[in-house]
Amino acid sequence: MEIKRTPKPSIIRLCSILNFLEDQENLGKENIFSQEIGEYLDLPAFSIRKDISYIGEIGNTIAGYNISKLKAHIEDKLKLSGTQNTCLVGLGSLGTAILNYEKLNSSNFKLVAVFDTNLNKLEMIKLKIRAYPAYQIEEIVKKHSITAAIITVPSKSTQEVANKLIKGGVRGIINFTPTLIRSGRNDVVVRNIDLLNELRILQALIALKSIDSAGE
Amino acid sequence: MEIKRTPKPSIIRLCSILNFLEDQENLGKENIFSQEIGEYLDLPAFSIRKDISYIGEIGNTIAGYNISKLKAHIEDKLKLSGTQNTCLVGLGSLGTAILNYEKLNSSNFKLVAVFDTNLNKLEMIKLKIRAYPAYQIEEIVKKHSITAAIITVPSKSTQEVANKLIKGGVRGIINFTPTLIRSGRNDVVVRNIDLLNELRILQALIALKSIDSAGE
DNA sequence: CTTCCTCTGTGAATATTTTCACTAATAGTA
DNA sequence: TACTATTAGTGAAAATATTCACAGAGGAAG
Ligand SMILES: NC(=O)c1ccc[n+]([C@@H]2O[C@H](COP(=O)([O-])OP(=O)(O)OC[C@H]3O[C@@H](n4cnc5c(N)ncnc54)[C@H](O)[C@@H]3O)[C@@H](O)[C@H]2O)c1
Ligand SMILES: NC(=O)c1ccc[n+]([C@@H]2O[C@H](COP(=O)([O-])OP(=O)(O)OC[C@H]3O[C@@H](n4cnc5c(N)ncnc54)[C@H](O)[C@@H]3O)[C@@H](O)[C@H]2O)c1
């Protein structure tokens, strides 16, 4: 059944499943059961099967899933195939760390530009990725058809940078800044990742778990 | 009503609300309406009120919410007050960037230790935070009652590091590594943050939005 | 003192997501 | 062939979360 819509949580889990499948394929595995995927993601097997079922029938009743087939299927249905031109804004300590992230290079996300206001820093880059001053964001984003961006600038510049990116045509932003971005449009997706907020969520969830288990 | 349990998504949103309240308080604001909070978080006002209502009545019908009162109330109910001893494992480029994160210093999360296997790197630290070799993780975590940890080691060492941390008594882990952690226990909370996975989720959600709006 | 206005808090309705129990497929085996 | 064992796929039930519409609170204005 093609018409059924996939719940957002399922989409997010499918991305994690994809990641796991890549690892398993690199380890030389060819087939995998929902059970095994579930163990990795700490979810029951039926939940994995349900997630996969949203994007169509693909498994085999006796050998489980063929890894490369399932991988291709998820990529296809979630529109994860094809190269996505990506950029990074803010070449401070966090931005530099992200440039070192080797796993990104082997993915379909291609870092084609980095931006910073500070020209001295720009001169220090030894990487092959072209660096530009921040005032060129809109122009370069357009020129290279950049669709996704990673923001690692000081908090107060976040919204300004986001505005420029969106104006240039970026449709997805990962924001490592503590300032939330408002895009004002519903065709732009933003994921905010803030360490302090994550720590708080962690702490609150731990407290919740304690209550849960007290009730058992 | 005290007995009602707070949904997990509400808890997570309350953490973001708290963050916003801090900013507003620093800006000198004293009172705030659910409407304003909602605009910031891009949610309807009734949703903000509902979230707050889970932790009890606190608002005023004419002036909205008193910011410092609401802040204290959220902190109290979500058990976010009190100092949490925290550590960082893996002092590479990402770990170093995180040590620079100034906002953490003004929070209740106190970084009391950093760990690395590489002793040369340990010698290079100029910070006040004590650094230890990785084999001391369990011992130091116990000694300082560390409850939360941030992992930024190479992917293959992730699970091993997590095991040591949990053995020492850590109950919350933020994992910046692409390898998911399995704690094997339900009193340990893990938040996995992987850039590549986030980019994929972004891309998949953008595709989903396109479908959505096509249907409108 | 009454009316009006605005804002919170919330029960109930709706929507979404997860869980469960079962069907069907397939291969190995006696 | 018939039986067993194993695993995917899936409707339906249950659980969870979001949305909505309105009651009630209380200050301001006349
Ligand atoms: N999410 C996390 O876990 C986490 C961790 C650490 C830091 N941070 C946040 O990430 C951001 C960057 O942190 P950092 O330690 O790398 O800071 P940093 O000061 O080292 O780097 C910021 C960089 O942005 C550049 N910049 C400033 N304004 C700019 C603009 N308008 N356009 C383009 N570039 C601009 C600066 O020149 C600098 O190179 C901060 O907002 C910080 O709070 C987040
Ligand atoms: N989530 C993200 O956005 C993101 C971005 C970049 C990198 N990463 C990931 O973060 C991790 C660290 O990245 P990096 O660029 O800082 O790498 P890095 O190599 O610069 O640093 C890793 C550090 O961990 C130390 N280390 C190795 N084994 C250890 C162990 N068993 N115990 C303690 N310390 C140990 C090393 O000595 C080194 O200092 C990697 O797994 C990388 O994939 C994540």
Per residue in B129-172, pLDDT (tens digit) is 899 999 999 999 999 999 999 999 999 999 999 999 999 999 99
| Contact yes or no for B107 and A196 at CB 8 A | yes
> Residue A100: helix, strand or coil by DSSP?
coil
Decide which of B23, B46, B77 is a domain's last residue. Answer: B77
| B91 and B22 both lie in a single domain | no
Q: What pLDDT shows up at residue A1? A: 35
Predicted confidence (pLDDT) at residue A173 exceeds the cutoff of 70: yes
Report the separation in Å between the CA atom of A151 and the middle of ligand 1, taken as the mean of its atom positions.
8
Q: What pLDDT shows up at residue B213? A: 56
User: Between chain A and chain B, how many beta carbons pairs sit less than 8 Å apart?
Assistant: 196
Which domain CATH number covers A137? Answer: 3.40.50.720
Angle of the B8-26 helix axis to the B67-77 helix axis, nearest 10: 140
| B88 and B175 both lie in a single domain | yes
Within-domain flag for A30: yes
Residues ≥6 apart with Cβ < 8 Å to A6: A14, A54, A55, B208
CA distance B76 to B87: 23
Report the separation in Å between the CA atom of A124 and the middle of ligand 1, taken as the mean of its atom positions.
16
HSE-CB for B137 with a 13 A CA cutoff: 25
| A177 and A91 both lie in a single domain | yes
Rg (CA), chain B: 20
Pick B12 or A209 by higher pLDDT.
Answer: B12
| A71 and A125 both lie in a single domain | no
> Residue B60: helix, strand or coil by DSSP?
strand
Q: What pLDDT shows up at residue B121? A: 62
| B54 and B106 both lie in a single domain | no
* Percentage of the residues of chain A whose pLDDT score is greater than 70: 93
Which domain CATH number covers B65? Answer: 1.10.10.10
Residues 55 through 84 of chain B touching chain A, CB cutoff 8 Å: 78-80, 84
Pick B120 or A155 by higher pLDDT.
Answer: A155
- Domain range spanning residue B181? 84-185
| B179 and B91 both lie in a single domain | yes
Q: How many domains does chain B have?
A: 2
Nearest-CB residue to A206 (from B14, B100, B189): B189
Decide which of A20, A47, A77 is a domain's last residue. Answer: A77
Please indicate whether residue A197, judged by its CB atom, sits closer than 6 Å to ligand 1: no
| A16 and A60 both lie in a single domain | yes
Look up residue B118 and give its two tokens. Answer: 């590489």
**Percent helix, percent strand, percent coil in chain A, to nearest 5:** 50, 15, 35
Within-domain flag for B71: yes
Pick A49 or A125 by higher pLDDT.
Answer: A49
Lowest mean pLDDT among A161-165, B84-88, B123-127, B175-179: B123-127
Within-domain flag for A209: no
Within-domain flag for A167: yes
Chain A within 8 Å of B43 (Cβ-Cβ)? Answer: no
Mean pLDDT of B19-48: 96
Within-domain flag for A202: no
Q: What pLDDT shows up at residue B126? A: 65
Q: What pLDDT shows up at residue B74? A: 97
Within-domain flag for A148: yes
Q: Which atom of ligand 2 sits closest to the CA of residue B96?
A: 16
Please indicate whether residue A171, judged by its CB atom, sits closer than 6 Å to ligand 1: no
Decide which of B54, B77, B100 is a domain's last residue. Answer: B77
